Amino acid sequence: MLILIVAYLGGVLTILSPCILPVLPFVFARADRPFRSHGLPMLAGMALAFSAIATLAAVGGNWVVTLNQYGRYAAIAMLALFGVTLLFPSVADRLTRPLVSLGMRLSGQEQAQGQAKASVFSALMLGVGTGLLWAPCAGPILGLILTGAALNGASFGTSLLLLAYAAGACTSLAAALLFGGRVFSAMKGSLHAGEWLRRVAGVAVLAGVGAIALGLDTGLLSRISFGTTSALEKALVEKIDAKPSLPASQADAGVDRGGLMLTAAQPEAPAPRKPALALRDEGAIPPLAGAIEWINSPPLTAEGLRGKVVLVDFWTYSCINCLRTLPYIRAWAEKYKDAGLVVLGVHTPEFAFEKLPSNVRRATKDLGVGFPVAVDSNYAIWRAFGNQYWPALYFVDAQGRIRHHQFGEGMYEKSEQVIQQLLAEAGHGAVPGQLVAPVGQGTQAAAAETLPESGETYLGYERANNFASPGGIASDRARTYQAPASLRLNQWALDGEWTVDAERARLERPDGRIAYRFHARDLHLVIGPAANGKPVRFRVRIDGKPPLADHGDDTDAQGNGVVDAQRLYQLVRQKADEKDRLFEIEFLDAGAQAFVFTFG
């Protein structure tokens, strides 16, 4: 219920977002008409169309994107025609005459009733067209909903969340429309004011159509930083605890911006060892069926693991939060293997390249993962657990009951105490004492003590935000971009010829560049080589200079490196994060694929 409330409130806040500007003329163009017969049907059509298209786009693939693009073209033409009718009443009379006539033939009622039905229908259709064109700025709440939809597939819950978001947006628009209607009514008392307002509305509608056709709604306007909307949305997510299927006891993990990868909300405070933890029964471990391959082990089953204490770790190899948890997972697997602990990694992908078993096999070897790993590329085990997060740990006792869970990084001391207690309950003899204290290296090194001011930033258009190259993103086609002379904090830009698809940006010609102004100790980028596997050379600069002592694990002091696999690369590891820095990476060869920035 809480996630529905947060989705609705997130929609309400869109009235403060610059991306709402192009659709406002379509809404206010009918402010002089009765709200019940004109404004309400239009807003209902807008909400239904947006939620339907967003649900399909999150789960349906490229054919939905293509279908929606044709729908946008049709909607642009329809709303442009609507703007013309506002400017020229004679055109409106000719266009509405067939609708009125059709309504009279179908209903057999009086002309006035036929006109009313035609007007309601036209308002509803205009709302549908507006819903097809509306591209809200992607904030934390909408990003959370769309990511959850993509991972968990089409469902009634997915559509309900998107409908709640759209209903929230339409609620704020309805309030503005009712207020605007009163203003219009007052102004129409003066001579010729009604006709003047009608023509102004027509010009505004045509301007809105032009802005959307030129891509300003997803380009220029999405780069205008009002700050307020994202801050309010993030506060809602954190303070109302809007985590799908998240028990109230799990308040120790924070939501990273725009995704479902969780980081520790605060450093662990040392606490005295308790004689016993209160571990409740959270249900039986679900079946482990559906993995397309098993690594380091034959297929395991829930029944076959009965009598063992099991730690189930949901992870994906390009997730920085998962990588920073790995040193502890490996240490527990080694320390308690003879005491009856089985660690089971469930690798559930975020990106398409992580679905390939060959990539997962290579990653587990490179990361030193020796425990069993289920390659869950079809999300079968993920859905069986009802999981929502990377990383996510589930602690299962010897009777096959889930007794504890941990979402996100951190709380390592408590997690190990849970393992020790469950092993003691199982009667496996002496359980090793003390607690592990591994020290991760490179991408597996612990996060900085202070939280970064820069958050997870996707480069594919499906979840991209804060993009600053002039003209915005040209979806699914090659385009030459230019980076602006300066960037604000957390803005990023492309330079050179790139093709941006739903989840990545791909360089078409050599010497392309990505720039990002960030504030964090560490900067990581998930990147891959050319489609044919040919390595891609790159060069990193910080504030225009080689990184020297601040270079990451995957570059040298001069900033040079090579992309030879699709994975997360640590490009910057500063000694301190006291100020904003300009990061630039130049790819010397064509074919580089860039997916997402993460920070630590």
Where exactly are the structural domains of the chain?
A: 2-230, 245-444, 457-599
Q: Tens of pLDDT along 48-101?
A: 876 776 666 544 444 444 454 555 566 566 656 656 765 666 665 565 555 445
3-state secondary structure at position 50 = helix
Phi, psi at 583, each rounded to 5°: -95, 135
- Assigned token pair, 338: 């003879």
Phi, psi angles (nearest 5°) of residue 575: -75, -25
Helix, strand, coil proportions of the chain in percent (round to 5)?
Answer: 45, 20, 40
- Average pLDDT of span 27-32: 65
Residue linked to tokens 């605007």: 180
The residue with greater pLDDT, 287 or 219, is 287
pLDDT in tens, 495-546: 999 999 999 999 999 999 999 999 999 999 999 999 999 999 999 999 999 9
pLDDT of residue 285: 97
State which H helix or E strand residue 523 sits in. Answer: strand 522-528
Name the CATH architecture for the domain at 245-444: 3-Layer(aba) Sandwich (3.40)
Pairing of strands 341-347, 373-375: parallel
The share of the chain scoring above pLDDT 90, in percent, equals 50
Instruction: Find the angle CA(445)-CA(359)-CA(515) to the nearest 5 degrees.
Output: 60
Reported as a single tens digit per residue, the pLDDT across 349-360 is 999 999 999 999
Average pLDDT of the segment spanning 20-29: 63
Instruction: Answer whether 409's CB lies under 8 Å from 334's CB.
Output: no
**Using CA atoms, how far apart are residues 520 and 511, in angstroms rounded to an integer?**
26
Determine the pLDDT at residue 380.
96
Q: Confidence band (pLDDT; 50, 70, 90) for 249?
A: very low
The 10 Å Cβ neighbour count of residue 455 is 23
Report residue 166: phi and psi, to 5°: -65, -35
- HEC states along 448-474? CCCCCCCCCEECCCCCECCECCCCCCC
Rg (CA), the chain: 27
Q: Are 561 and 442 in contact (CB under 8 A)?
A: no
Pick the more confident residue, 227 or 215: 215
pLDDT digits (tens, 9 = 90+) for 172-210: 778 877 776 665 555 545 445 555 655 666 676 577 657
pLDDT at 233 over 80: no
User: Which range among 40-49, 84-93, 412-421 shows the weakest confidence by mean pLDDT?
Assistant: 84-93
Tokens standing for residue 597? 């920035």
Q: Which CATH number fits domain 457-599: 3.90.800.10, 2.60.120.260, 2.60.40.10, 3.50.50.60?
A: 2.60.120.260
In this prediction, residue 236 carries a pLDDT of 54
Query: Higher-confidence residue: 110 or 554?
Result: 554
Q: What are phi and psi of 126, to 5 degrees?
A: -65, -35
> Hey, which of 62-66, 67-71, 267-271, 412-416 has the most confident mean pLDDT?
412-416
- What is the secondary structure of 335-346 as a DSSP string? HHGGGTEEEEEE
